[in-house]
Amino acid sequence: MPEGDTVWRTANSLRDALDGKVLTTCDVRVPRYATVDFTGETVESVLSAGKHLVIEVGGKVIHSHLKMEGAWHVYQPDTPWRRPAYQARIVLGTSDRVAVGFELGVVEILDTVEEAVGYLGPDLLGPLWDPAVALGNLEAEPDRPIGLALLDQRVIAGLGNVYRNEILFLRGVDPHTPVSAAGNLAKMIDLSHRTITANKNRNARTFTGDLRAGRHFWVYGRENKPCRRCGTRIRDGLLGDNPLEERQIYWCPRCQPAP
């Protein structure tokens, strides 16, 4: 599942392929931007911010978001793609690389980086990471369930559903707990930063420290299985600000007592 660490690695790959290079191909396969052509322009920068990717080129910004199914691949010219061409939303080529964005949830051309990511909270993997700002953002909504606040990119940028569930287990906090009752928030923020930093260079993230298949997670995706700590059956459910935004949650009712 694409989260901040996945996007950070993707940005590194795209930076190596595109940054400072002249585009020889630009094919935006989104009807609204079908006439956009940056061929002949030099890519100025490739940035990640939380779960967003930003490419500055030709005085504009290509903003993309992977959502659930998206991915960027980098190929040598004339190399077969690993996904079908009909899934491609944008193709950017240089003399020695081809970057293809498949099934991207968002592809848009904007005027500034601020338009794309200016609303985000501090980026856990960004150069300007500020835990004090993240703490202030969390504390600003004391009655909101902590399981929603951690997932809100306006509060902290980079955490997705996997991290949300695993961080709350490690801190012993039920996802339904109000922010004001969730214990030491500074420690929760620090754990989030340390965990995503530790995982950023891994293709398979782990929260248990065990890299063996099937041993990576404490609770995520383990509904009805015994807790690795206490043996209690892991529970699952849905949590969201409204029915359209509900996401799956997992927790151990003994290790994460109800508020």
Residues with catalytic roles: 2-3, 51
DSSP track, 88-148:
EEEEEE-SS-EEEEES-SEEEEES-HHHHHTT---BTTSTT--HHHHHHHHHT-TTSBHHH
Phi then psi dihedrals of residue 33, to 5 deg: -120, 25
Instruction: Give CA torsion, residues 120, 122, 123, 124, to 10 deg.
Output: -140
What is the DSSP secondary structure assignment for residue 41, as one 8-state letter? P
Q: What is the tally of helices (H) and strands (E) in the chain?
A: 6, 10
Residues 6 or more apart whose Cβ sits within 8 Å of residue 134? 121, 122, 155, 156, 189
Q: How far apart are CA 259 and CA 246, in angstroms?
A: 20
| Residues counted in the chain | 259
Q: 158 burial class (0-12, 13-18, 19+ CB within 10 angstroms)?
A: buried
Round to whole Å and give the CA distance between 4 and 46: 15
